[in-house]
Amino acid sequence: MFGKKKVKSQSAETTGTPATRETEGLSQGQIIRQKFFRHKVAVFSLFFLIFLTLLVFSSSGIHLGTDTHPITVHGWWPLYILDIDPVGALESTCNGGMTGCPTMDLIPSFIDGSPMGFGAHPIGSDDIGVDWWALVTRGAEQSLTVMVIVGALGIFFGTVIGAVAGFFGGIIDAILMRITDMFLVTPTLVLGGVIGSRFGNLGVVPLAIMLGLFAWMGLARFVRTEFLTLREREFVDAARVAGASNRRIIFKHILPNAVGVIIVSGTLLLSGAILTESALSYLGFGVKAPDVSLGLLISNYQDSFIVAPWLFWWPGAFIIAIALSINFIGDGLRDAFDPRQIRTIGKAVKVKSPKKAKA
């Protein structure tokens, strides 16, 4: 047909030397990786998130353990959230008497008279003189930790429980889904409060683990539904005839087909984790002062938006940057897993679509 010839010649151009490249057999994993790395926005987001994580962690250092047994690695930023500098905060005023203004001056002296430089608190300090950069990086560190742990646990348990329930069905499904129901009827905030008051003083990691153990139910439901429909498809029978074990069928054959659902609700889960953490912190059950998290910073200073906007902008920018890059990475992953998604390969394959329309 006319459409097909076009496709062949164009795809030959885009893939370079098809004769040598195409005959080499690629596994599912290799093809997915190639496709992901062709998704520019996703790759950029991935590197940006890595950069952000490294920046945040290296800047504020690592502070684990309890008050009595601290585990501390200092970061490159000289100030930490426990260092108070009331004098510095008082000296830097702006907006008609507001203290703790950013000391960073990016405008050269021949324009406004004052010399360029960072100053003691480049992005300002809070009302009692704690350096804002130290607070924001520490907050981002905490929020990232919560997000990663909650996300990983939620996605892992949700996927495995949903997959097992949907694939095996019957009594296993019934038991797993009733357990899921029990988790679902427990109000998250009350539970978080209990967990927070019990484990909150141990730092953010145990809190995140406990939250993660209660974050998988929605995902499990979605994955189960997906598995229920997919397991009836003939390719599952074909795999079984080929001698595939249940484990292989679940993870190699069905799971890649359910990846869209997992990624969509997984990204929601990650952003939800930040919100839960900030809600808990706001109620006083999550991260406790003097320690901070991004959510806590925003909720503490939401009234300062007009008079001291830097108190609001910086944690907000960090949250947006983290959430956006996770969404873009998820987008790229989903496209990479979906063989029909052809945006990244170029226009060549799109010529096929009129055939579909005709049928």
The closest alpha carbon to 42, from 268, 267, 258, 351, belongs to 267
- For 72, the enclosing helix (H) or strand (E) is strand 70-73
Provide CB contacts within 8 A for 303, sequence distance 6+. Answer: none
| Shortest Å, Cβ 43 to another protein | 21
Point out which residues pair with 93 in neighbouring strands.
99
Distance between CA atoms of residues 230 and 236, nearest Å = 8
| Binding test (CB under 8 A) with another protein, winner from 287, 325, 337, 348 | 337
Q: Does the footprint of another protein cover residue 205 (CB under 8 A)? A: no
Q: Of the ranges 102-110, 155-163, 211-219, 347-355, which one interacts with another protein (CB under 8 A)?
A: 347-355
Q: Does the footprint of another protein cover residue 357 (CB under 8 A)? A: yes
Distance between CA atoms of residues 85 and 125, nearest Å = 9
| Shortest Å, Cβ 331 to another protein | 17
| Binding test (CB under 8 A) with another protein, winner from 68, 243, 247, 306 | 243
Q: Does the footprint of another protein cover residue 111 (CB under 8 A)? A: no
Q: Of the ranges 14-22, 88-96, 104-112, 326-334, which one interacts with another protein (CB under 8 A)?
A: 14-22
Q: Of the ranges 53-61, 183-191, 216-224, 253-261, which one interacts with another protein (CB under 8 A)?
A: 253-261
Distance between CA atoms of residues 122 and 118, nearest Å = 5
| Binding test (CB under 8 A) with another protein, winner from 5, 13, 18, 305 | 18
Distance between CA atoms of residues 205 and 150, nearest Å = 10
| Binding test (CB under 8 A) with another protein, winner from 184, 244, 264, 323 | 244
Q: Which of residues 23-82 bind another protein (CB under 8 A)?
A: 23-28, 31
Amino acid identity, residue 348?
A
Q: Does the footprint of another protein cover residue 16 (CB under 8 A)? A: no
| Shortest Å, Cβ 216 to another protein | 23
Point out which residues pair with 130 in neighbouring strands.
84
The footprint of another protein on this chain (CB under 8 A) covers a number of residues equal to: 45
Q: Which of residues 275-334 bind another protein (CB under 8 A)?
A: none
Distance between CA atoms of residues 355 and 358, nearest Å = 5
Helix ranges (DSSP H) in 284-309: 294-300
Q: How many residues does the chain have?
A: 359
Q: Does the footprint of another protein cover residue 353 (CB under 8 A)? A: yes
Q: Does the footprint of another protein cover residue 221 (CB under 8 A)? A: no
Q: How many beta carbons lie within 10 A of that of residue 219, not counting itself?
A: 24
| Binding test (CB under 8 A) with another protein, winner from 91, 248, 313, 321 | 248
- Of 74 and 355, nearer to another protein (C-beta) is 355
Q: Does the footprint of another protein cover residue 6 (CB under 8 A)? A: no
Asked, as a colleague might, if the bond just before 290 is cis with ω within 30 of 0, I would say yes
Residue 119, classed as helix, strand or coil, is coil
Q: How many beta carbons lie within 10 A of that of residue 109, not counting itself?
A: 11
| Binding test (CB under 8 A) with another protein, winner from 59, 257, 271, 344 | 257
Distance between CA atoms of residues 321 and 294, nearest Å = 12
Amino acid identity, residue 286?
G
Q: Does the footprint of another protein cover residue 235 (CB under 8 A)? A: yes
Q: Of the ranges 17-25, 146-154, 219-227, 277-285, which one interacts with another protein (CB under 8 A)?
A: 17-25
179: which 2 tokens?
């357990």
Q: Does the footprint of another protein cover residue 2 (CB under 8 A)? A: yes
The answer to whether residues 314 and 136 touch, using CB atoms and an 8 Å cutoff, is yes
- Of 219 and 230, nearer to another protein (C-beta) is 230
Point out which residues pair with 105 in neighbouring strands.
117
| Shortest Å, Cβ 40 to another protein | 21
Q: Does the footprint of another protein cover residue 241 (CB under 8 A)? A: yes
The closest alpha carbon to 271, from 200, 326, 203, 195, belongs to 326
Which parts of this chain interact with another protein (CB under 8 A)?
1-3, 18-19, 22-28, 31, 233-235, 237-244, 248, 252-253, 256-257, 259, 337-340, 347, 349-355, 357-359
